[in-house]
Amino acid sequence: MNKLTPEELTRYSRHLVLKDFGTENQEKLKKSRILMVGAGGLGCPALLYLTAAGVGKIGIVDFDDVQESNLQRQVLFSTEDVGQNKAVAAQRNLNKLNPFVKIITYAEKLTSKNALKIISEYDIVLDGSDNFPTRYLVNDACVLTNKAIVYGSILQYEGQLSVFNTQTTKGSFTQNYRDLFPDPPKPHEIPNCEQAGVLGVLPGTMGSLMANEVIKLITGIGEPLVNKLLIFDSLSLQTLTVTIPNRNSRVNIKELIDYDDFCGLNDQKDKSLSMKEITVLELKKLIDTQSDFQLIDVREVHEFEQANIGGEHIPMAEVPHQIERIQTTKQVVVHCRSGGRSGNIIQWLEKNHGFNNLYNLKGGILAWAKEIDSSLDVS
């Protein structure tokens, strides 16, 4: 039953008095089913506004847990949610906002094995993921199931927005993610938000715009952002809209594949297997025995100032300009927060400068705080 109840008529009254919106479009929202992939920076504001708007059924896919560092931008969560699964925490908080919306959670990773089954149950998919394998997976699964995609991405001060794979009146489909990016970038060629940072209000802006596009698609009002990419600069408040070429990529999408392999991550994993590592217990022994080695911290300035274990501080972005500071005749231990950035820069140094004496600190300073010194504030 999609008729609005008296309570819903009151709740959505500001929609109902809108010119060209009214009861009919509100009932379309109530009938609709949308899937949010990723309850992070983009997902939080999009989920808040779509729940408030009265979308009938919302699915949330996210296998990650809420971390304290998320709270700077993921406004759906609070301190008490830290450590809980994001999809489950989001459901609980959204139910408080609007009990008339049905929230379904998938506290699991979206993969080639489950994507088609999950996505087939929804009308529109919002892609708020933060990695390329998931973006290509979502795109291909939506192409195969004829589902529209509302896409958003954020990094540092810039956001991107587009609407992919909508069906036209002639039966054809608009451009999709592969028309915009036919080939994925090389692994770690583009930093993620943990490495490069993101302005906290930016995902709020872009996530709200994603919700706006969803409402337009459901109700038919306005003009969806199809075949175009909106680029938003939060520092200048300038926007640039570019046309996405039609590469006819749809015809080549026939099945779901191994997207880690497609994006080169399996090769990266193979390389990481050959990387020399050291545990925090082994590092402590080097320090306690006053061994002759070099310890380098490649985290950002604010991370180093908050907590450090006495290493030389060379932020990751500065390493290429300070190669001379890295010893070549002794063991060098490189660390970051969890081991990802330090592993990346070690591989870059080995490939481009021939280093063979570099060791990655397994688990980074997080492991040090957990196993060696619990007084360190590495939140």
CA 73 to chain centre: 12
Which pLDDT score, from 0 to 100, does residue 40 have? Answer: 94
Do the beta carbons of residue 335 and residue 361 sit within 8 Å?
yes
Last residue of a domain, one of 268, 294, 310: 268
Answer yes or no: do 86 and 224 share one domain: yes
Residue 133: both structure tokens together = 């394998």
CA–CA distance from 137 to each of 109, 114, 216, 244, 377 (Å)? 12, 11, 24, 19, 37
Give the end-to-end CA distance of the chain in Å, rounded to a whole number.
Answer: 47
270: left (phi over 0), alpha (psi -120 to 50) or beta: alpha
5 in any annotated domain: no
- State the total domains in the chain: 2
Polymer length of the chain: 379
80 in any annotated domain: yes
| Residue 168: CB atoms within 10 Å | 9
Convert the pLDDT of each residue in 114-169 to its tens digit.
Answer: 999 999 999 999 999 988 899 999 999 999 999 999 999 998 899 999 999 999 98
To the nearest whole number, what is the mean pLDDT of the chain?
Answer: 92
Amino acid (1-letter code) at residue 212: N
Answer yes or no: do 350 and 243 share one domain: no
Answer yes or no: do 256 and 150 share one domain: yes
Answer yes or no: do 172 and 77 share one domain: yes
Last residue of a domain, one of 268, 295, 330: 268
Answer yes or no: do 292 and 263 share one domain: no
Which pLDDT score, from 0 to 100, does residue 286 have? Answer: 95
Q: For position 37, which CATH number holds?
A: 3.40.50.720
Answer yes or no: do 260 and 295 share one domain: no
Amino acid (1-letter code) at residue 182: P
Q: How far apart are CA 260 and CA 111, in angstroms?
A: 10
Convert the pLDDT of each residue in 282-308 to its tens digit.
Answer: 999 999 999 999 999 999 888 899 999
Last residue of a domain, one of 219, 250, 268: 268
Answer yes or no: do 98 and 114 share one domain: yes
Do the beta carbons of residue 33 and residue 63 sit within 8 Å?
no
379 in any annotated domain: no
343 exposed, middle or buried (CB, 10 Å; 0-12, 13-18, 19+)?
buried
Phi then psi for residue 333, to 5 deg, are -105, 125
Q: For position 309, which CATH number holds?
A: 3.40.250.10
Amino acid (1-letter code) at residue 356: N
8 in any annotated domain: no
Answer yes or no: do 155 and 283 share one domain: no
Q: How far apart are CA 101 and CA 88, in angstroms?
A: 15
Answer yes or no: do 224 and 366 share one domain: no
337 in any annotated domain: yes
Amino acid (1-letter code) at residue 348: W
3-state SS, residue 251: helix
- Residue 323 is given by DSSP the state G
148 in any annotated domain: yes
238 in any annotated domain: yes
Active-site residue, from 44, 142, 263, 336: 336
Specify whether 336 is catalytic: yes
Q: What domain range is 366 assigned to?
A: 275-371
Active-site residue, from 44, 142, 193, 263: 193
Above 80 in pLDDT, residue 379? no
Answer yes or no: do 156 and 190 share one domain: yes
Do the beta carbons of residue 25 and residue 15 sit within 8 Å?
yes
Specify whether 263 is catalytic: no
Above 70 in pLDDT, residue 188? no
Which pLDDT score, from 0 to 100, does residue 266 have? Answer: 63
The rounded radius of gyration (Å) of the Cα atoms in the chain is 23
Answer yes or no: do 53 and 134 share one domain: yes
Answer yes or no: do 66 and 199 share one domain: yes
H helices present in 171-258, as ranges: 177-180, 193-196, 202-219
List, in sequence order, every beta strand (DSSP E) within 274-338.
Answer: 277-278, 293-297, 312-313, 331-335
20 in any annotated domain: no
pTM for the model stands at 0.75
159 - beta bridge partners? 154, 232
